[in-house]
A and B are shown apart, each in its own frame.
Chain A
Amino acid sequence: MAFLTAVESGVQPHMIRCGILCSPSAPRCRRWRVDQLLPCLAFVQSGKVLDQCFEGVLFEADLSCRGEMISPRSMGFGQPPTARTWLDVVEELFRPEQNVPALLQTSQRLPAGRQVDLWIALPYPFENQPGFGTVRGKRLNFQSNPEHRTEAVVWWMEQVCRRWQRTSRRVPSHRVVFRGFAWTRSMLWPADHGVIREVAEWVHRNQLKLMWCYHDRTEGADSAGELGFDLCLNRPLLARGIHRIDAAAAFAEQHGHGVILAWDGARCPDSLTEVLQAVRNRIREAVQLLELPFGVVGQWCQQAEPAYRALYQYIRGIEAQNGDSKGGART
């Protein structure tokens, strides 16, 4: 087996996770505008776009500003969300001038012929929510009716797709490809298996893909494809130790998965440049998702930090070594 590659998966090889709203570690609301997205999607110097950088974006809402848990990353850090909260997330994703609309605008500034993949993380239907609210005239109770969890997620995906069609039509020259959704709960909790299977079926019926982001060593990761995931990305336990990245990379390579690289200067003793240098040859082929602190790429770009160039070189350099100067699979 080998890594999941861009060519075989039909997706762009380098994605960046863009967390929106609040997170358990950051109480301030995160909103991605063009000025923050552009340095991520393009290599910008002195205000000029010189080349493409990341080729994909994963938007994920963690915690609402009222403290309701949206992503599984926020499990236990707030109150269970309701249908209203989930609709607010859709509103937030498609709020004018930010997040998805900002991505559409940013894509227009990329070098000719370049595209960007859009992924959207699914909200997690917390099992202990007895009063999720009314969806399509039906009151949903996740606690007593586990099948309501699937209904809620499918309903939410429909809202997103509807908004995507409406919003993307308004920017006819955009170069964003809506690839699909991401299931970001790492643990394959048995009660989630049915939800995942049905979500995957819906996603595939709508010509989209379902991605799974998991932590290294998660039980069941070796057979996750049976649940309907199109691509699985393995996050090393702690990005600070290269041996940990290596262990996750080995598993990903063995099972045809991609890799997640999470870096935060406040927590990692190594600089991002050092981490990228260390893994450059190890995971070159793999589809990758980078998780970086909110706004850091924009800051590096503005301050012409060496890390910004290193990041760009890492992303493009891999492609150059593949002999494909235009990147991975294109549609």
Chain B
Amino acid sequence: MPTVLHAPIEIAGQMGTLCQGLRNFGWTANGYNWFHTYLQYDSPIVQTDAYELMHVFEPLVRAADIIHFHNGDTMLTDYRDLPMLKALGKPMVMHHWGNDVRDVETLNRRLKYPLPPSYHTPDEIRAKLATLSQYIDHAIIQDHELYEFIAPYYKRVYELPLVVDTKALQPVYPNVSNPCPLIVHAPTSDEFKGTRYVERAIDNLRSRYRFEYKRIEKMNHKAAMSWYERADIVIDQVMCGTYGLLSVEAMAMGKPVIAYIRDDLRPTYPGPLPIVSADPDTLEVNVAALISDPGRRRALGMQGRRYAEQYHDTGVVVQRLIRIYEEILQEKQ
């Protein structure tokens, strides 16, 4: 079985879950993450820094049959590793995760509620993509939302859904007799997720409905998961137009999820996505509808669990990833 090297940034525990999933299929896979956050994902990969990674670069490259980079970064600064890796004929794929390639200026011309500036300017993003695609032919994104930004650069773009180990998450469906549902919102970046709109809607609803609201912030992943487990409604982001790992985890736990899903993107997801779409204008009415309909909460929770099992489970996603790797490896032969 081939050996896969993942580096250098883990986003939302995905690198570790993919590596473990590949190992379950008999592949040798290891990840090196130099980006550490308060989320502290309990991940079966090596937590490191750029300097340690630089010093193991050579043996790592020698050991790897395919290199899977994440978030627009590679192992050496200024992409100094890419010419070497290309010269060695090392198969590579770049996994873009969102703000590393999302051209917010372009997107905001179409969005009613503009997204905050990213950590890269559009010019920086274009320059990075131009450099990366000189050396890397293949890219992976989680869904179609990012496609427009990277398609002009790479030879082939694959969509690989976010991954969650559904077997490790027991569904806890909302209790239909709960008179005071718990609403959870967990922004890692409140501006990007639209937290102020979420909380405006929550404030407006307080006088009319009985519910509890919990904003999860600066909490490690394990502690946050215990809150999701107790939730009756989970609100993800309401501005960007697609859904993130919070939605996937919440669905896997059997929770009804609210997020803003762009109309043009909905047909691009596999199967009927059971996420209630709401933007800042429609959020209040959608939250109210779910508060007052416990039966629907439970039904959506069950649909969400099935959706997560069918499209986001480690086994399903990793099999798809293996097919991607096989295509890339075949092309290099």
- A binding-site residues for B, Cβ under 8 Å: 23-25, 72-73, 75-77, 128, 185-187, 189, 214-219, 235, 237-238, 267
A189, A238, A267: the one contacting B47 at CB < 8 Å is A189
Provide the residues of chain A in CB contact with B44, threshold 8 Å: 128
- A77 engages B48 (CB within 8 Å): no
CB distance from B6 to the nearest CB of A (A): 10
Residue in B52, B58, B62 whose CB lies within 8 Å of A75 = B52
B1 within 8 A of A: no
Residues of chain B within 8 A (CB-CB) of A77 are 56, 59, 63
Q: Is the CB of A215 within 8 A of B63?
A: no
Chain A residues with Cβ below 8 Å from B63 are 24, 77
8 Å CB contact of A267 from B32, B46, B58, B60: B58
Question: B27-67, CB under 8 A of A: which get 1 and which 0?
Answer: 00010100000000000111111011011101110110000
Question: With A76-B30, A76-B32 known to touch, is A217 a contact of B51 (CB < 8 Å)?
Answer: yes
CB of A25 within 8 A of CB of B54, answer no
Identify the closest chain B residue to A238 (Cβ): B54
Q: Taking the nearest CB of chain B, how far is it from the CB of A146, in angstroms?
A: 13
Q: Given A24-B63, A128-B44, check contact A219 B49 (CB 8 Å).
A: yes
- A75-B46, A77-B63, A218-B49 known, 9 other contacts, Cβ within 8 Å: A24-B63, A75-B48, A75-B56, A76-B30, A77-B56, A186-B51, A186-B55, A215-B51, A237-B51
A289 CB, nearest partner CB in chain B, Å: 14
**Contact assessment for B54 and A237 in the assembled complex, using a CB-CB cutoff below 8 Å:** yes
The interface of chain B, by Cβ under 8 A from chain A, is 30, 32, 44-49, 51-52, 54-56, 58-60, 62-63
Shortest A189–chain B CB gap in Å is 6
B51 in contact with A187 (CB, 8 Å): yes
Q: Pick from B30, B51, B62: contact of A218, CB below 8 A.
A: B51
A-B contact pairs, 15 of them (CB 8 A): A23-B59, A24-B56, A75-B48, A76-B32, A76-B60, A77-B59, A186-B49, A187-B51, A189-B47, A214-B51, A215-B51, A215-B54, A216-B51, A218-B49, A237-B51
Partner of B55, one of A23, A189, A215, A219: A215
Given A75-B46, A76-B46, A128-B44, A187:B59 Cβ within 8 A: no
* Closest beta carbon of chain A to B248's beta carbon, Å: 24
Q: Which residue of B lies closest to A266 (CB)?
A: B58
- Please name the residue on chain A nearest to B80 by beta carbon: A238
Q: Tell me the bound Cα distance from A271 to B55 in angstroms.
A: 20
Chain A nearest Cβ from B17, distance in angstroms: 15
- Cα separation A187 to B47 with both chains bound (whole Å): 9
User: Measured between alpha carbons, how far is A185 from B48 in the docked complex, in Å?
Assistant: 10
Q: List the A side residues contacting B54 at CB < 8 Å.
A: 215, 237-238
Cβ contacts under 8 Å, A75 to chain B: 46, 48, 52, 56
Residues of B within 8 A of A219 (CB): 49
Q: How far is the CB of B163 from chain A (nearest CB, A)?
A: 19
Q: How far is the CA of A128 from the CA of B23 in the complex (A)?
A: 16
How many whole Å from B31's CB to the nearest CB in chain A? Answer: 8
Whether the Cβ atoms of A25 and B58 lie closer than 8 Å is yes
User: A237 — which chain B residues lie within 8 A by C-beta?
Assistant: 51, 54
Is B52's CB under 8 angstroms from A76's CB?
no
Residues of A within 8 A of B59 (CB): 23-25, 77
Q: Which residue of A lies closest to B49 (CB)?
A: A187
Say yes or no: A215 contacts B46, CB within 8 Å.
no
With most chain B CB atoms within 10 A of its CB, the pick from A72, A75, A218, A219 is: A75
A264 (CB) vs chain B CBs: closest residue:
B58
Q: List B contacts of A235 (CB < 8 A).
A: 55
Residues of B within 8 A of A23 (CB): 59
Q: Which residue of A lies closest to B77 (CB)?
A: A237
- The smallest C-beta distance from B80 to any residue of chain A, in angstroms, reads 10
**How far, in angstroms, from A267 to B44 measured CA to CA in the complex?**
31
Contacts of A73 in B (CB 8 A): 55-56
User: What CA separation (Å) do A73 and B49 show in the bound complex?
Assistant: 13
With a cutoff of 8 Å between Cβ atoms, the chain A residues found around residue B56 in the complex are 24, 73, 75-77
7 closest A-B pairs (Cβ-Cβ)? A215-B51, A24-B59, A76-B46, A187-B49, A76-B30, A25-B59, A75-B46
| B-chain residues with CB within 8 Å of residue A25 when the two chains form the complex | 58-59, 62
In the bound complex, how far is the Cα of B52 from the Cα of A219, in angstroms?
11
CB neighbours (8 Å) of B51 from chain A are 186-187, 214-218, 237
- Complex alpha-carbon distance, A69 and B86, angstroms: 29
Q: Which residue of A lies closest to B50 (CB)?
A: A217
Complex-state Cα separation, A186 to B56, whole angstroms: 12
Complex Cα distance A245/B34, Å?
23
Most A CB contacts (10 A, CB to CB) among B45, B46, B51, B59 go to B51
How far in angstroms is the closest Cβ of chain B from A89?
Answer: 20
Bound-state Cα–Cα, A76 to B45, Å: 8
CB neighbours (8 Å) of B62 from chain A are: 25
